[in-house]
Amino acid sequence: MMMESKRRVVQVRKLSEIVVKSGSLVFREIVHVALFSMITSAFLLPLVFLLRIPVALVLLPLVYAPLVTGVVYASHSVMTGKRAKVKEVFRGAVRHFAASAVFGYVCALFVLILASSWWYYGGKGGMLSFALAIFQTYFVGMFFLSQIYTLPLVVQEGMGIFSAMGRSVKLFIAHPMYSIGAFIQLLSIGVLLLLTVIGFAFLFVGIAGFYLNAVTANVLPKKDEESGSRSSDGDQAEGAAWSFERQDAGLLSR
C-alpha cells in the first residue's frame, strides 16, 4: 500500500515552467499547431457566419467539440513522440465523438444560462437584478474553470466524459491557484489572438491542444512504466508515457 502511494505521488511543477516549456513546444511544432487550428476553423467559420443562431447552437457541440478533442488527441500524439498526421485529428474526433458531443452540449447549456441571465436580469435594472446576473456569471465561470482538465483526461486517461468532468473538478480543488493561473493564461492567449481573427483561426486551438495536455499531465500521478504498460486502453498507456522529463530528453532536443 505504501509502495503504491509512493508511485502515485504528484510532483507538480510551477505553472511558469509549464508555460515556458509549452511555448517552446508550440514553437517547435508550429506546423502542427497551424494545421490543427485550420482544420477546426474550416468547420467553425461556416457554422458561425452562414447558419442561423439556433441551428449553429445545435451543430457547434456536435461538430466543433469533437474536432477540438481531436486536436487534443493529435497534440498528445505529437507530445508522446509519434509522427502525427492531420488525420489524427479526425481519428481522435471519431474515437471520442460521444464524450465530446456530450461535453459540448453541457458547455452550450451553461453559455445559454449566462446569456439568458443577463438578458432577463439585465433588462430589469436595479441592484438586486445586477447582483443576480453577477452571481450567475460567477457560477458559469467556475464551471468552465473547473473543467479545464476534462478533454485531456478523456484523451490521456481514456475516461468517460462524466468521470473526466468529476476528476477535473477534483484536480481543480486540489490545485486551485495552479488551475486558475492556467485558465487565465489560456484565456489571455485566446483574447489576444481574437484581436486578429486570422491569428485565432490559425493558432488558438492548436496552441490550446498542446498547452492543455501539458497542464493536465503536470497534475496527474506519475505512474511507473509497469503500471502504464498494464493499462488496457491505448490512450491510458499514452497518458503515462509522456512527461516533461521525457520531453527534455527527447522531443525538444530533435
- The label of the residue with cell 492548436 reads 206
Helices and strands in the chain, H and E counts: 16, 0
Query: Are the C-beta atoms of residues 36 and 89 closer than 8 Å to each other?
Result: yes
Could you tell me how far CA 2 lies from the centroid of its own chain?
Answer: 33
Query: Which residues 6+ apart lie within 8 Å of 182 measured at CB?
Result: 15, 18, 148, 215
Query: Are the C-beta atoms of residues 193 and 200 closer than 8 Å to each other?
Result: yes
Q: What is the pTM of this model?
A: 0.83
**Alpha-carbon gap, residue 84 to 70, rounded angstroms:** 12
**Alpha-carbon gap, residue 19 to 23, rounded angstroms:** 6
Query: Are the C-beta atoms of residues 74 and 208 closer than 8 Å to each other?
Result: no
Render pLDDT for 153-185 as a digit per residue (tens, 0 to 9): 999 999 999 999 999 999 999 999 999 999 999
Render pLDDT for 24-49 as a digit per residue (tens, 0 to 9): 999 999 999 999 999 999 998 888 88
Query: Are the C-beta atoms of residues 89 and 111 closer than 8 Å to each other?
Result: no
Series of mean pLDDT values for 10-residue runs along the chain (254 residues): 47 86 91 92 87 85 94 93 85 95 94 88 79 90 95 94 96 95 93 84 92 94 52 42 51 44
User: What are the domain boundaries of the chain?
Assistant: 2-243
